[in-house]
Amino acid sequence: MNNAPNAQLLKGSLSVMILRLLEDRERMYGYEITQKVKELTAGEMAITEGALYPALHKLEADGLLTTETQVVDGRARKYYSLTKVGHTEAASRIADLRAFLENLNTVLNLKPSL
Amino acid sequence: MQLTPDQLATIDRHLRKENWLLNEDLIAELTDHYTTAISNRMTEGQAFSESLIDVYKGFGWRKGLLKMEEEYGIQKKRQTILMAWREVKPFFVGQRTPITVAIFAGLYQLDSLYAGRDMAKSFFSTGETFLIIGFCTSFFIIIIWELWQSRANGENWFSFAGRKVTPFVRIYSICYAVLLCSKFVWIIFSWSLPAVLAQFVGLSLQTSTAVYFVGSTIALYKRLSPKVKAA
């Protein structure tokens, strides 16, 4: 997959993807999120670290995510999980994105008029 | 694959010396990311130096790392402000409103009780002294607590001072500025108002300050509380 358009498309939906993954997995750390996306999309979609961490930090500042640090192999690992507000917001944003994708799909599948 | 102490030291040097990162929280988070990503790549047969460059590229090289640190600082400040507001708001509209009413009533009592006595008036006049003593005590407690934390984490004083006390100093300054306004500036304007109205506005200002201070302190406590647990 061409990376440039992929990155552009990802930009608007990255926070929703993070919220969806955390809805499913309860808590995850940064590297784990990048790997999960890679695994789910069979390597077709790759989240760069330069995009992931600012998105995580912004969601945390917005109060949608909370963090917990756990010591793993002698170093601190920061786990992100959804707050109560985050759960509500995740459901709403996912529904919005689904509706948008359905509409986008309708437009993209438009048959040329003869 | 476990990285050797030399390789871990290279990652640390890469983040601090070669890329000029300063924020300890961010460095800790990125160290874990670099370590996990590099060790996974090495398990797949890639060399350490190549893996390091790959991960570095993902962060957008030095420019990306520095931009991330700048953005991290902005988001942390935003987080403190939003958290403070989430704690302060219920004092005005929500379940903490009775506390605000109680503070207002308490200040009104003090104001009425000591208003006529010159000596007492200068000391207790509108409860400001109590609030100032409260600020100083909390500030002192936070400094001691932070020192204890930084010592336990092996951090130096300067990194701790620049990073964590700043939001408290800002909140303290805002509270103190409002109090001073209420004490000196408001008095000048209140001359043209009926005494009851002037007293009501003055006490409202002080109540808001006390409530803002309490809410902000709760938010700071929540934000600074270490949430570390062993694996």
Domain annotation covers residue B67: no
Characterize A4-15 residue by residue with b for buried, 16 or more Cβ atoms within 10 angstroms of its Cβ, and e for exposed.
eeeeeebeeebb
B119 and B34 fall within a common domain = no
B58 to A50: CB separation less than 8 angstroms, yes or no? yes
CA nearest B153: which of B97, B228, B208, B75?
Answer: B228
Which of A54, A72, A78 lies nearest to residue B231, judging by beta carbons?
Answer: A72
Structure tokens that stand for B56 in this block:
């570095």
B146 and B118 fall within a common domain = yes
Q: Which domain-ending residue is among B37, B59, B81?
A: B59
B123 and B157 fall within a common domain = yes
B228 to A69: CB separation less than 8 angstroms, yes or no? yes
- Report the chain B residue with the minimal C-alpha distance to residue A50: B59
* pLDDT (tens digit per residue) in B43-67: 999 999 999 999 999 999 999 999 9
B39 and B83 fall within a common domain = no
B133 and B181 fall within a common domain = yes
A48 to B59: CB separation less than 8 angstroms, yes or no? yes
A70 to B229: CB separation less than 8 angstroms, yes or no? yes
Say if CB A54 and CB A33 are below 8 A apart: no
CA nearest A69: which of B68, B74, B162, B153?
Answer: B153
Which of A29, A61, A71 lies nearest to residue B231, judging by beta carbons?
Answer: A71
- From 1.10.3720.10, 1.10.10.10, 1.10.240.10, 1.20.1250.20, which CATH number describes the A3-108 domain? 1.10.10.10
B51 and B77 fall within a common domain = no
What is the C-alpha separation between B130 and B135, in angstroms, rounded? Answer: 9
What's residue B194's pLDDT? 73
The domain containing residue B17 runs over which residues? Answer: 5-59
Domain annotation covers residue B127: yes
Tally of domains in chain B = 2
Domain annotation covers residue B178: yes
Provide the phi-psi class of A83: left if phi over 0, else alpha when psi is between -120 and 50, else beta.
beta
What's residue B207's pLDDT? 85
Provide the phi-psi class of A81: left if phi over 0, else alpha when psi is between -120 and 50, else beta.
beta
B41 and B109 fall within a common domain = no
What is the C-alpha separation between B97 and A53, in angstroms, rounded? Answer: 38
B59 to A70: CB separation less than 8 angstroms, yes or no? no
Structure tokens that stand for B26 in this block:
């961010």
Say if CB A34 and CB A52 are below 8 A apart: yes
What is the C-alpha separation between B46 and B39, in angstroms, rounded? Answer: 9
Q: What is chain B's pLDDT, residue by residue, as a tens digit (231 residues)?
A: 788 999 999 999 999 999 999 888 899 999 999 999 999 999 999 999 999 999 999 999 999 999 999 999 888 888 877 887 888 888 888 888 999 999 889 888 877 776 655 554 555 555 566 666 666 776 676 667 666 665 655 555 544 444 455 666 666 667 667 766 766 666 666 666 677 777 787 788 878 878 887 887 787 777 766 665 555
As for the ipTM of the complex, it is 0.87
All structural domains of chain A with their residue ranges: 3-108
B50 and B136 fall within a common domain = no
Count CB-CB contacts under 10 A for residue B46.
14
B43 and B80 fall within a common domain = no
B91-95: long-range contacts (C-beta < 8 A, 24 or more apart)? Answer: B91/B211, B91/B214, B91/B215, B92/B211
B177 and B143 fall within a common domain = yes
Where do runs of H (alpha helix) occur along chain A?
3-25, 30-40, 49-61, 84-108
* pLDDT (tens digit per residue) in A41-91: 888 888 889 999 999 999 999 999 999 999 988 889 999 999 999 999 999
Amino acid letter, residue B189: F
In this model, does residue A4 exceed pLDDT 70? no
Domain annotation covers residue B231: no
B137 and B82 fall within a common domain = yes
Chain A positions in Cβ-Cβ contact with residue B76 (cut-off 8 Å): 57, 61
Domain annotation covers residue B39: yes
Which of A61, A75, A76 lies nearest to residue B75, judging by beta carbons?
Answer: A61
CA nearest B89: which of B223, B220, B221, B215?
Answer: B215
What's residue A2's pLDDT? 44
Structure tokens that stand for A24 in this block:
């499913």
Alpha carbon distances (Å) from B189 to B77, B125, B184, B201, B210: 34, 18, 9, 11, 22
Q: pLDDT tier at A33 (50, 70, 90 boundaries)?
A: very high
